[in-house]
Structure 1
Amino acid sequence: MSLRVAIMTDETGWHTGRLKKAFRARAVEARCVDLADCRIDTTWKPHGLAIPGFGHTLPDAVFVRGIAGGTFEQVTLRLGILHALRESGVPVYNDARAIERSVDKSMTSFLLHRYGVPTPATWAGESAAHAQRVLMREAAAHRQVVIKPLFGSQGKGLKKLDTHLPELASFNEVAYLQRFIDATDFDWRVLVIGAKAVAVMKRVGGGGEDWIHNFARGARCETAELTPALAETAIRATQALGLDYAGVDLIPSDETQRPLVLEVNGVAAWRGLQSVTTHDIATLLVDDLLDRKLASTRDVPASSANGRV
């Protein structure tokens, strides 16, 4: 019987199409499943987990492509489904623990700092008074600070501050502050898969804010050299968060002479990156899931040097 994989996603499109094609090339049946449709059901024998399309069985592996937003309870349950799958012995790529670390920007910053990965100075807390003191101290040193939503993506909600702290109500009462690095008009996105940096691009411009370089906001994707410094830093960032694969955003720094990690994306899109690399990224992701992640738990045919087996 062929392997069956669940692609967890709240929407289908270009990314899921590429993944399903790559799974078919490995003779693996891949089915898109919305985590919102899954449930914990202790009467559902034998596992207590109901995954649409898999009956009373569980998938052989899970690829997490997207988790829809929702209430705190809804997101907690969806992550709980991923936790439960892992507890049931199903390889989850990336698993819930790693996604939680990367989605929470404060935990990302903490882990990068703890493991010695270069990243801008960061402060996160609920005290508006402390956040205001940070702004004043940084301004006295002729530095600026950026405030970001603790949970967010695609450059949404970022604000560059001077000495005035905005109302924290619009940031859900949490001040996540990061020292602004005024280096260039671009940043890098490095894709790490299975502890290997496989592709890089420059993201230039975007969205009217020349310091926010997200493809979803109109940034231009350009080819770039995957230097040893970029590769090493991105790999270390991915490992610090325990991710199987990640899109790591880096920026050059005149102060450290090494790239700084801004963010680590545990559910990374790669459409922009695919446009500037010759690698088939979906194939690399699928091969890593099957040949490394899943093969470590069971006997799975590996890809040959010149094709699929």
Structure 2
Amino acid sequence: MQIPAPQPAKSPRILLVTAGIDRHARELIRAFGDRGAEIRVVELAAIGFDTGAPHGVAIPGFAGTLPDAVCLRTMDGGSFEQVTRRLGVLHALSRVGVIVSNDARAVENCVDKSATSFLLARAGIPSPRSYAVETRAEAARLLAHEGRPMVLKPLFGAQGKGLKLIASEADLPAETETAGGVYYLQHFAGVAVGGRFADIRILVSAGRVAAAMRRESSGWITNIKQGAEALPMPPDPELEALAIAATEAVGGDFCGVDLLRDEAGRAQVIEVNSMPAWTGLKRASGRDIAAIRAADLLARIAATSPRAATAGALAAS
């Protein structure tokens, strides 16, 4: 059998999709560059559909060609139509063979908190019971039925913004005052120890735990952006296994998973984030998250490249 002559290696081409060049984007640019990748930074809003183009999409900086992978950092906000089109672009890139991380399916599953709760429950992953309804009357009925505090969250929200603890029907806002006219309610599972609330953020990348931190706050909202303190987290095999399972349940490959232990000490997955920030996590864990992100995505490209396939066929022959 004649072995093909080795071909000169080509630098992987990475499309970094981000709504802005923030600290995280700059760290990713450095991390990919340090590993020899060519990187272009584009807002998702700038990528268009073009049915006359070779692949049906028009990407600034990729005239008639495609990147080897898309690294999704953040999506631009916009109207329902704009967001739908942008998710459609991510779907299209996956369909023409580009590695998209995280892909549109994972983003949709995480951005919609009710979809996340549904998928966690379907996978048998412990998570506080959740409801999503569209009338105040039904929300009030559920609150009375549960007989316990619930957290009202925006269906599409992040960084702890817009959360409200609901103890009675009087706490429920009018339908016109909810985020998008939806009541997404989740059992409140927080526990204060010594006057401090805490939860855990575990970052999962490529099917393994990449970093973890404990978040503590004097209030029940424990997001770093809301003033919580990021602390080192010792290994916890149970929570780590749940974080990996939750990431798999939403179809993600790079996710931040929020967990806590309830009053009975039971581990609960609260949320899964498909576009996680990592400033506090990096500080608490000492891990270079951007370097991990870049290395894992480049390894995925290498594993799916024609050269890798040829090497696999040779090894099997």
Q: TM-score, normalised by structure 2?
A: 0.89
Q: Work out the CA distance in 2 between the residues paired with 1:178 and 1:52.
A: 42
Within the alignment, does 1:202 sit opposite 2:214 as a pair?
Answer: yes
Shift of 1:297: 4.5
Alignment of structure 1 residues 45-60 onto 2, 5 Å: 46-60=54-68
Checking the alignment, whether the CA contact within 8 Å between 1:193 and 1:244 is kept in structure 2 is yes
Deviation per residue, 1:94-136 (Å, 9 max, x gap) = 0000110000000000000110111001111223322111111
Identify unmatched segments of 5+ residues in structure 2: 1-9, 309-317
Deviation per residue, 1:56-82 (Å, 9 max, x gap) = 211111000010111000000111110
User: Match of 1:189, as an amino acid?
Assistant: R
Q: What is the root-mean-square deviation in Å for CA atoms of aligned residues? A: 1.5
Percent of aligned positions with the same letter in both sequences? 46
Count, aligned residues: 293
Shift of 1:293: 5.2
Identify unmatched segments of 5+ residues in structure 1: 301-309
Match of 2:285 among 240, 264, 277: 277
Checking the alignment, whether the CA contact within 8 Å between 1:117 and 1:236 is kept in structure 2 is yes
Within the alignment, does 1:295 sit opposite 2:303 as a pair?
Answer: yes
User: Match of 2:227, as an amino acid?
Assistant: G
Within the alignment, does 1:104 sit opposite 2:112 as a pair?
Answer: yes
Shift of 1:288: 1.1
Within the alignment, does 1:224 sit opposite 2:233 as a pair?
Answer: yes
Q: Work out the CA distance in 1 between the residues paired with 2:289 and 2:283.
A: 10
Higher helix share: 2
Q: In the alignment, what sits opposite 1:241?
A: 250
Q: In the alignment, what sits opposite 1:90?
A: 98
Q: Work out the CA distance in 1 between the residues paired with 2:175 and 2:82.
A: 24
Q: Work out the CA distance in 2 between the residues paired with 1:59 and 1:225.
A: 38
Q: In the alignment, what sits opposite 1:303?
A: none
Deviation per residue, 1:222-272 (Å, 9 max, x gap) = 1111210110111111011010110001111133x3321111000111111
Deviation per residue, 1:121-161 (Å, 9 max, x gap) = 1111223322111111223xxx2011111000011111111
Checking the alignment, whether the CA contact within 8 Å between 2:189 and 2:263 is kept in structure 1 is no
Within the alignment, does 1:167 sit opposite 2:181 as a pair?
Answer: no
Checking the alignment, whether the CA contact within 8 Å between 2:233 and 2:285 is kept in structure 1 is no
Q: Work out the CA distance in 1 between the residues paired with 2:215 and 2:301.
A: 30
Alignment of structure 1 residues 104-143 onto 2, 5 Å: 104-139=112-147, 143=148
Checking the alignment, whether the CA contact within 8 Å between 2:18 and 2:41 is kept in structure 1 is yes
Cα distance change, pair 294–68 in 1 and its aligned pair in 2 (3 A): farther
Checking the alignment, whether the CA contact within 8 Å between 1:61 and 1:294 is kept in structure 2 is no
Query: Secondary structure, in 3 states, of the residue corresponding to 1:275?
Result: helix
Q: Work out the CA distance in 2 between the residues paired with 1:48 and 1:122.
A: 40
Deviation per residue, 1:28-87 (Å, 9 max, x gap) = 01111101111001122x112111111121111100001011100000011111001001
Shift of 1:299: 3.5
Q: Work out the CA distance in 1 between the residues paired with 2:302 and 2:188.
A: 40
Q: Work out the CA distance in 2 between the residues paired with 1:64 and 1:50.
A: 17
Deviation per residue, 1:8-45 (Å, 9 max, x gap) = 0010021111111111122101111101111001122x
Q: Which runs of 4+ in 1 moved over 3 A?
A: 297-300
